Amino acid sequence: MTTLFKNIKELIQVRTEPISYVSGKAMSELPTIKNAFLMVNNGLISDFGSMNDCPKTGFSEVIDATGRMILPSWCDSHTHIVYAGNREGEFVDRIKGLSYEAIAANGGGILNSAKKLQETSEEVLYQQSKERLEDVIQLGTGALEIKSGYGLTVAAELKMLRVIKRLKENYPIAVKTTFLGAHALPLEYKENKEGYLKLLIDEALPKIAEENLAEYIDIFCETGYFSVEDTELMLEAGKKYGLIPKIHVNQFTAIGGVQAGVKHHALSVDHLEVMRDEDIEALKNTKTMPVALPSCSYFLSIPYAPARKMINAGLPLALATDYNPGSTPSGNMNFVISTACIKMKMTPEEAINAATINGAYAMGLDDKVGSITKGKQANLILTKQINSYGFIPYSFGTNQIEKVYLKGKEICI
Ligand SMILES: N=CN[C@@H](CCC(=O)O)C(=O)O
Ligand SMILES: [Zn+2]
């Protein structure tokens, strides 16, 4: 099956030569072709160019995109979309003045979600999670990473990971899986952190490897959660089973997590709301992608990651949602790029690069998605009639997507 998209007002994020990611000044370059065609063969991008060179034959279906733009689907490299129930009660508590930290210290927060998840069957968890996945696909996400970390027992962590595996098998979207057993300390281990980490290392990791349930390992490296030492221990343990680090660091405090990530060749370090100069320095000339999560800053009213400082220092930056029940109950990448422009002073070009090719790199999918490149999956956003791509972040809160395609097929859920 070969599909020709013709008369595309502007084809965005065109990379004739494959690239892994863009950094620094290059983030402000977003290559496009105006009045373009795009050919998709068996789910993969097979050709593209100016309408002047548009093939006249060799396709079985034609889609006329007059007045509309096409860009690669969003690549959301940091989500927790598998969770049970919600934390609307805590949302209201925060409106009334309690802090996110105080709620967590009183047994709410991650522990609240873990209790709910432990009491929820695998089937119900799957049904709740699949609705969220379908929602984000309609919002233009074409690849995403999903973490465990709301189980906090071996059985419940495995339940989460099996749900992720089922989502991966049942939907045409690219999914990468991360084991985040060290997300918070369960109550039973309140005085025995070593015991909990030992449980994760000796019991959870071997089972995860046996069932091939994860590609990445994560830990919440933060004051009051897990230390740099704990982080190094978990990353070393994960490495023995072939799990690559992608870690939560510098959300509330900077304690050296970025350096630990770099030392252990983390694919990404995520959050980064609090960045010291030495943390920015540590990321220079490494293969570790910094990932900012602006919707989390928005929802919790905490600082935004200093995007300008990082990009001006020559670093790359990816943007992701952090979709989770506590700090970011939204998986809308369109809102993420708007917020990155409005609050973090990223230009539309930088934000689109951060949400496509750099996001793809941050989950090890840069050879498959994230740009209009021959051989990549045809995961595409067809916009409504808009005058420029900058209109997408500008018109925040308004859906500018007309259709989404995964592996070349229109997705109607
Ligand atoms: N910060 C750690 N973990 C999640 C939120 C956890 C929660 O509140 O449920 C995050 O990335 O923001
Ligand atoms: Zn997170």
Asked if pLDDT for residue 252 goes beyond 90, the answer is yes
**How many helices (H) and strands (E) would you count in the chain?**
16, 16
Mean pLDDT of 79-94: 97
Class of domain 2-73+371-410: mainly beta
250 lines ligand 1 (CB under 6 A): no
Among residues 169, 148, 168, the alpha carbon closest in space to that of 324 is found at 148
297 lines ligand 1 (CB under 6 A): no
Report the nearest-CA residue for atom 12 of ligand 1. Answer: 327
Report the nearest-CA residue for atom 2 of ligand 1. Answer: 220
Report the nearest-CA residue for atom 11 of ligand 1. Answer: 322
Distances from the Cα of 358 to the Cα of 20, 177, 180, 281, 362, angstroms = 7, 18, 22, 19, 6
ipTM of the complex: 0.98
Sign of CA dihedral 221, 224, 225, 231: positive
Substitution site in 322, 323, 330, 336 for ligand 1 pocket (most atoms within 8 Å of beta carbon): 322
| Helix intervals (H) in 171-227 | 193-199, 205-210
Mean pLDDT of 282-298: 98
Interval 16-33: pLDDT, tens: 999 999 999 999 999 999
Task: Note the pLDDT of residue 412.
Answer: 87
Ligand 1 centre from 294 Cα, in Å? 13
110 lines ligand 1 (CB under 6 A): yes
| pTM greater than 0.95 (yes/no) | yes
Mean pLDDT of 293-307: 98
Query: Residue 370 class from Cβ within 10 Å (0-12 exposed, 13-18 middle, 19+ buried)?
Result: buried
356 lines ligand 1 (CB under 6 A): no
Q: Answer yes or no: is 271 a known binding residue.
A: no
Q: Answer yes or no: is 94 a known binding residue.
A: no
Interval 265-275: pLDDT, tens: 999 999 999 99
Interval 311-354: pLDDT, tens: 999 999 999 999 999 999 999 999 999 999 999 999 999 999 99
Q: Answer yes or no: is 371 a known binding residue.
A: no
Among residues 365, 253, 373, the alpha carbon closest in space to that of 318 is found at 365
Q: Answer yes or no: is 183 a known binding residue.
A: yes
Q: Which tokens is 219 given?
A: 């830990």
Asked if pLDDT for residue 106 goes beyond 90, the answer is no
Task: Note the pLDDT of residue 266.
Answer: 98
Report the nearest-CA residue for atom 9 of ligand 1. Answer: 326
* Band (247; pLDDT cuts 50, 70, 90): very high
Interval 146-158: pLDDT, tens: 999 999 999 999 9
For domain 75-362, give its CATH number from 3.40.50.980, 3.20.20.140, 3.40.50.620, 3.30.70.270.
3.20.20.140
Q: Answer yes or no: is 87 a known binding residue.
A: yes
Percent of the chain with pLDDT over 90: 98
Among the bound ligands, name the one nearest to the CA of residue 113: 1
Ligand 2 centre from 49 Cα, in Å? 38
Asked if pLDDT for residue 41 goes beyond 80, the answer is yes
Interval 181-226: pLDDT, tens: 999 999 999 999 999 999 999 999 999 999 999 999 999 999 999 9
Domain ranges of the chain: 2-73+371-410, 75-362
